[in-house]
Amino acid sequence: MNWVTRSRLVEDLARLGVSDGDVVMVHAGMRSVGPLLGGPDVLVLALLDVVGENGTIMAYTDWESGVQHLTRDDASESVPQELLNELPPFDPASSRARRAYGVLPEFLRTWPGAVRSANPDASVCAVGAKAEWLCADHPMQYGYGPGSPFAKLVSAEGRVLLAGAPLDSVTLLHHSEHMAKLPNKRIIHYCEPVLVDGRKVWIDIEEFDTSNPVVPTAREDYFATIVKESLDSGAGRTGKIGNGDSYLFDAAELHQFAVAWMEGKFG
Protein backbone atom coordinates (compact mmCIF):
# COMPACT_ATOMS: atom_id res chain seq x y z
CA MET A 1 0.00 0.00 0.00
CA ASN A 2 1.20 3.51 -0.85
CA TRP A 3 1.09 4.99 2.66
CA VAL A 4 0.91 8.76 3.11
CA THR A 5 3.21 9.78 5.97
CA ARG A 6 3.47 12.81 8.21
CA SER A 7 6.71 13.94 6.56
CA ARG A 8 5.14 13.73 3.12
CA LEU A 9 2.13 15.76 4.27
CA VAL A 10 4.46 18.42 5.71
CA GLU A 11 6.23 18.67 2.37
CA ASP A 12 2.94 18.80 0.45
CA LEU A 13 1.46 21.49 2.70
CA ALA A 14 4.59 23.65 2.47
CA ARG A 15 4.70 23.22 -1.31
CA LEU A 16 1.08 24.32 -1.58
CA GLY A 17 1.90 27.46 0.39
CA VAL A 18 0.89 26.83 4.02
CA SER A 19 3.53 28.50 6.18
CA ASP A 20 4.61 29.34 9.70
CA GLY A 21 2.18 31.55 11.61
CA ASP A 22 -0.75 30.97 9.25
CA VAL A 23 -4.36 30.79 10.45
CA VAL A 24 -5.84 28.04 8.31
CA MET A 25 -9.42 26.81 8.08
CA VAL A 26 -9.21 23.21 6.89
CA HIS A 27 -11.68 21.05 4.98
CA ALA A 28 -10.40 17.53 4.36
CA GLY A 29 -11.46 14.54 2.31
CA MET A 30 -9.48 11.80 4.00
CA ARG A 31 -10.21 9.14 1.40
CA SER A 32 -8.89 11.43 -1.30
CA VAL A 33 -5.75 12.28 0.66
CA GLY A 34 -5.03 8.56 0.84
CA PRO A 35 -4.14 5.88 3.38
CA LEU A 36 -2.60 7.87 6.22
CA LEU A 37 0.05 6.06 8.22
CA GLY A 38 -1.31 6.88 11.68
CA GLY A 39 -4.82 7.89 10.60
CA PRO A 40 -6.36 11.38 10.56
CA ASP A 41 -4.21 12.44 13.53
CA VAL A 42 -1.28 12.54 11.13
CA LEU A 43 -2.88 15.29 9.06
CA VAL A 44 -3.49 17.35 12.20
CA LEU A 45 0.13 16.80 13.29
CA ALA A 46 1.43 17.79 9.87
CA LEU A 47 -0.67 20.95 9.83
CA LEU A 48 0.60 21.91 13.29
CA ASP A 49 4.16 21.22 12.16
CA VAL A 50 3.81 23.61 9.24
CA VAL A 51 1.95 26.50 10.92
CA GLY A 52 4.18 26.27 13.99
CA GLU A 53 3.54 27.52 17.50
CA ASN A 54 2.44 30.94 16.22
CA GLY A 55 -0.09 29.48 13.79
CA THR A 56 -3.63 28.14 14.19
CA ILE A 57 -5.74 25.54 12.46
CA MET A 58 -9.51 25.55 12.58
CA ALA A 59 -12.40 23.48 11.24
CA TYR A 60 -16.15 23.81 10.95
CA THR A 61 -17.83 21.46 13.41
CA ASP A 62 -21.56 22.25 13.43
CA TRP A 63 -23.37 19.80 15.80
CA GLU A 64 -24.34 16.20 15.08
CA SER A 65 -27.53 16.42 17.19
CA GLY A 66 -28.63 19.90 16.12
CA VAL A 67 -32.39 20.40 16.04
CA GLN A 68 -32.43 21.94 12.58
CA HIS A 69 -30.80 18.79 11.19
CA LEU A 70 -33.10 16.45 13.12
CA THR A 71 -36.35 18.12 12.05
CA ARG A 72 -35.71 19.04 8.42
CA ASP A 73 -38.19 17.60 5.94
CA ASP A 74 -35.40 15.78 4.11
CA ALA A 75 -33.79 14.36 7.27
CA SER A 76 -33.33 10.60 6.97
CA GLU A 77 -34.72 10.02 10.46
CA SER A 78 -36.66 13.14 11.41
CA VAL A 79 -37.38 13.38 15.14
CA PRO A 80 -40.96 14.22 16.20
CA GLN A 81 -41.26 17.50 18.05
CA GLU A 82 -42.63 15.82 21.19
CA LEU A 83 -39.38 13.87 21.63
CA LEU A 84 -37.02 16.82 21.31
CA ASN A 85 -37.34 17.74 24.99
CA GLU A 86 -35.20 14.68 25.71
CA LEU A 87 -32.40 15.92 23.46
CA PRO A 88 -29.19 16.60 25.46
CA PRO A 89 -28.13 20.26 25.33
CA PHE A 90 -25.31 21.55 23.19
CA ASP A 91 -22.08 21.61 25.19
CA PRO A 92 -19.04 22.97 23.31
CA ALA A 93 -16.80 20.72 25.38
CA SER A 94 -18.51 17.44 24.56
CA SER A 95 -21.10 17.69 21.76
CA ARG A 96 -19.97 15.84 18.67
CA ALA A 97 -19.03 17.47 15.37
CA ARG A 98 -21.37 16.76 12.50
CA ARG A 99 -20.23 13.60 10.71
CA ALA A 100 -21.49 14.80 7.32
CA TYR A 101 -18.40 17.02 7.07
CA GLY A 102 -15.92 14.18 7.42
CA VAL A 103 -13.83 12.93 10.32
CA LEU A 104 -11.31 15.77 10.63
CA PRO A 105 -13.56 18.18 12.62
CA GLU A 106 -14.13 15.63 15.39
CA PHE A 107 -10.43 14.72 15.51
CA LEU A 108 -9.51 18.40 15.79
CA ARG A 109 -12.31 19.14 18.29
CA THR A 110 -10.92 16.50 20.67
CA TRP A 111 -7.27 17.50 20.18
CA PRO A 112 -5.40 18.51 23.37
CA GLY A 113 -5.86 22.26 23.87
CA ALA A 114 -8.65 22.58 21.30
CA VAL A 115 -11.20 25.37 21.72
CA ARG A 116 -14.74 25.30 20.34
CA SER A 117 -17.12 28.20 19.78
CA ALA A 118 -20.50 28.34 21.50
CA ASN A 119 -22.95 28.67 18.60
CA PRO A 120 -24.26 25.09 18.19
CA ASP A 121 -24.86 25.05 14.44
CA ALA A 122 -22.21 27.51 13.24
CA SER A 123 -19.57 26.29 15.69
CA VAL A 124 -15.93 25.85 14.81
CA CYS A 125 -13.02 24.37 16.69
CA ALA A 126 -9.45 25.59 16.65
CA VAL A 127 -6.00 24.65 17.91
CA GLY A 128 -3.11 27.06 18.20
CA ALA A 129 -2.10 30.61 19.03
CA LYS A 130 -5.35 32.33 17.94
CA ALA A 131 -7.75 29.54 18.91
CA GLU A 132 -9.26 31.33 21.92
CA TRP A 133 -9.73 34.57 19.98
CA LEU A 134 -11.29 32.86 16.96
CA CYS A 135 -13.84 30.97 19.06
CA ALA A 136 -14.67 33.61 21.67
CA ASP A 137 -17.99 35.47 21.75
CA HIS A 138 -19.54 33.64 18.80
CA PRO A 139 -22.93 35.34 18.24
CA MET A 140 -25.92 33.06 18.77
CA GLN A 141 -27.97 34.98 16.19
CA TYR A 142 -26.68 35.04 12.62
CA GLY A 143 -23.64 33.00 13.54
CA TYR A 144 -21.91 33.38 10.18
CA GLY A 145 -21.93 37.18 10.23
CA PRO A 146 -19.93 39.90 11.97
CA GLY A 147 -18.15 38.77 15.13
CA SER A 148 -18.17 35.12 14.02
CA PRO A 149 -15.05 32.97 13.66
CA PHE A 150 -15.52 33.27 9.89
CA ALA A 151 -15.38 37.07 10.04
CA LYS A 152 -12.31 36.79 12.27
CA LEU A 153 -10.63 34.43 9.81
CA VAL A 154 -11.03 37.10 7.13
CA SER A 155 -9.81 39.92 9.37
CA ALA A 156 -6.79 37.87 10.46
CA GLU A 157 -5.74 37.43 6.82
CA GLY A 158 -6.26 33.71 7.28
CA ARG A 159 -6.40 31.02 4.66
CA VAL A 160 -8.79 28.28 3.53
CA LEU A 161 -7.37 24.85 2.74
CA LEU A 162 -9.21 22.15 0.81
CA ALA A 163 -7.15 19.01 1.39
CA GLY A 164 -8.74 16.52 -0.97
CA ALA A 165 -12.13 18.11 -0.24
CA PRO A 166 -14.65 19.13 -2.94
CA LEU A 167 -14.93 22.75 -4.05
CA ASP A 168 -18.43 23.13 -2.57
CA SER A 169 -17.20 22.48 0.99
CA VAL A 170 -15.97 26.04 1.70
CA THR A 171 -17.98 27.03 4.78
CA LEU A 172 -16.56 30.55 4.65
CA LEU A 173 -18.97 31.27 1.79
CA HIS A 174 -21.85 31.24 4.29
CA HIS A 175 -20.17 34.34 5.73
CA SER A 176 -20.13 35.75 2.21
CA GLU A 177 -23.84 34.98 1.87
CA HIS A 178 -24.47 36.89 5.09
CA MET A 179 -22.45 39.94 4.02
CA ALA A 180 -23.64 40.11 0.41
CA LYS A 181 -26.41 42.60 -0.30
CA LEU A 182 -29.04 40.29 -1.77
CA PRO A 183 -32.85 40.53 -1.89
CA ASN A 184 -35.11 37.78 -0.58
CA LYS A 185 -32.58 35.88 1.47
CA ARG A 186 -34.06 32.78 3.07
CA ILE A 187 -34.34 33.17 6.86
CA ILE A 188 -34.97 30.29 9.24
CA HIS A 189 -36.12 30.26 12.87
CA TYR A 190 -35.63 27.36 15.27
CA CYS A 191 -34.78 26.54 18.88
CA GLU A 192 -31.70 24.72 20.16
CA PRO A 193 -31.10 23.34 23.67
CA VAL A 194 -27.86 24.83 24.99
CA LEU A 195 -25.98 24.21 28.23
CA VAL A 196 -25.94 27.49 30.20
CA ASP A 197 -24.38 27.56 33.68
CA GLY A 198 -24.88 23.82 34.01
CA ARG A 199 -28.52 23.66 32.93
CA LYS A 200 -30.36 23.15 29.66
CA VAL A 201 -31.86 26.30 28.16
CA TRP A 202 -33.80 26.47 24.89
CA ILE A 203 -32.51 29.34 22.74
CA ASP A 204 -34.47 30.91 19.87
CA ILE A 205 -32.18 31.30 16.86
CA GLU A 206 -32.61 33.32 13.69
CA GLU A 207 -30.27 32.62 10.80
CA PHE A 208 -29.94 32.85 7.05
CA ASP A 209 -30.63 29.39 5.67
CA THR A 210 -27.35 27.50 5.27
CA SER A 211 -28.92 24.17 4.33
CA ASN A 212 -30.22 25.57 1.04
CA PRO A 213 -28.98 28.33 -1.27
CA VAL A 214 -29.61 31.59 0.53
CA VAL A 215 -31.63 32.97 -2.39
CA PRO A 216 -34.29 30.90 -4.20
CA THR A 217 -32.79 31.48 -7.66
CA ALA A 218 -29.36 30.01 -6.81
CA ARG A 219 -28.38 26.53 -7.91
CA GLU A 220 -27.73 23.91 -5.24
CA ASP A 221 -24.06 23.63 -6.22
CA TYR A 222 -23.29 27.32 -6.62
CA PHE A 223 -20.54 27.35 -3.97
CA ALA A 224 -18.50 25.04 -6.21
CA THR A 225 -19.07 27.41 -9.14
CA ILE A 226 -17.83 30.39 -7.13
CA VAL A 227 -14.70 28.57 -5.98
CA LYS A 228 -13.94 27.27 -9.48
CA GLU A 229 -14.36 30.71 -11.03
CA SER A 230 -12.11 32.16 -8.33
CA LEU A 231 -9.46 29.61 -9.28
CA ASP A 232 -9.97 30.36 -12.98
CA SER A 233 -9.41 34.06 -12.25
CA GLY A 234 -5.95 33.26 -10.90
CA ALA A 235 -6.73 33.25 -7.19
CA GLY A 236 -5.64 30.44 -4.92
CA ARG A 237 -3.03 27.73 -5.33
CA THR A 238 -3.48 24.19 -6.59
CA GLY A 239 -1.53 21.08 -5.68
CA LYS A 240 -1.62 17.72 -3.98
CA ILE A 241 -1.98 16.86 -0.30
CA GLY A 242 -1.12 13.20 -0.23
CA ASN A 243 -3.04 11.80 -3.20
CA GLY A 244 -5.83 14.38 -3.07
CA ASP A 245 -6.32 17.37 -5.36
CA SER A 246 -6.02 20.32 -2.98
CA TYR A 247 -6.41 24.09 -2.97
CA LEU A 248 -5.26 26.97 -0.78
CA PHE A 249 -6.99 30.35 -0.76
CA ASP A 250 -6.52 33.66 1.00
CA ALA A 251 -9.74 33.90 3.01
CA ALA A 252 -10.27 37.63 2.45
CA GLU A 253 -9.66 37.37 -1.29
CA LEU A 254 -12.04 34.44 -1.69
CA HIS A 255 -14.67 36.13 0.49
CA GLN A 256 -14.51 39.37 -1.49
CA PHE A 257 -14.71 37.46 -4.77
CA ALA A 258 -17.74 35.53 -3.49
CA VAL A 259 -19.58 38.64 -2.29
CA ALA A 260 -19.04 40.37 -5.64
CA TRP A 261 -20.10 37.20 -7.50
CA MET A 262 -23.30 36.81 -5.46
CA GLU A 263 -24.25 40.45 -5.77
CA GLY A 264 -23.54 40.35 -9.51
CA LYS A 265 -25.73 37.28 -10.02
CA PHE A 266 -28.50 37.80 -7.46
CA GLY A 267 -28.25 41.38 -6.20
257 vs 238: CA distance, rounded Å: 17
**Of 47, 21, 50, 20, which is closest to residue 36 (Cα–Cα)?**
47
Q: Compute CA distances 13 → 6, 37, 241, 247, whole Å.
A: 10, 16, 7, 10
Amino acid, single-letter form, for residue 93: A
Find the farthest-apart pair of alpha carbons in the chain and give their distance in angstroms, rounded. Answer: 53
Q: Over its length of 267 residues, how does the chain's per-residue pLDDT go in tens digits?
A: 789 999 999 999 999 999 999 999 999 999 999 999 999 999 999 999 999 999 999 999 999 988 887 766 555 566 777 888 899 999 999 999 999 999 999 999 999 999 999 999 999 999 999 999 999 999 999 999 999 999 999 999 999 999 999 999 999 999 999 999 999 999 999 999 999 999 999 999 999 999 899 999 999 999 999 999 999 999 999 999 999 999 999 999 999 999 999 999 998
Which class for 76: exposed (0-12), middle (13-18), buried (19 or more C-beta within 10 A)?
Answer: exposed
Sign of dihedral through CA atoms 6, 12, 16, 19? positive
- Tell me the whole-structure pTM to 2 decimals: 0.95
124 vs 118: CA distance, rounded Å: 8
Which value, in Å, is the radius of gyration of the alpha carbons in the chain? 18
